[in-house]
Amino acid sequence: MIATHNPGKLAEMRELLAPHGVEAVSAGELGLDEPEETGQTFRANAAIKAIAAAKAAQLPAFADDSGLVVDALDGAPGIYSARWAGEGKDFMAAMSRIERLLQERGATHAGPPKCAFRLGPLRRMARWPSRRGRGPRRWNFGMAAARHRRIRL
């Protein structure tokens, strides 16, 4: 199970898993509640999502958490990246906000997106640095940054 309610993320995971004969179902499709992401790191939030989904469905669950950690903005938006996109998940609006703040500070570089993965209920954690041009194309906060014309990663 993929611990997500995001149809785009689920489609991406299904595309990655299909060549291996693995079919994925999402927490959203199973009607599971989204847990509150109260962790202070991407790693902690990925663990919260994976463990909550695994316990609720009694299935192994894969989760991730990702976002931008912009040095010029003192690490913001960080773990709050999705919240910067608002209720409507308008990542272009969030990128415009980052661009404006960078311009106010005279900076032009947002930095690479960061991501943590967790497979629950396992206790080991895998970290994978996200890089522009590698991995699947996904319209998430990190990739929105890569696609935003004025911010280079």
Q: Which residues are catalytic?
A: 65
Q: Among 140, 94, 149, which Cα is nearest to 115's?
A: 140
Contacts of 9 (CB under 8 A, 6+ apart): 2, 64, 138, 140
Are the C-beta atoms of 43 and 116 separated by less than 8 Å? yes
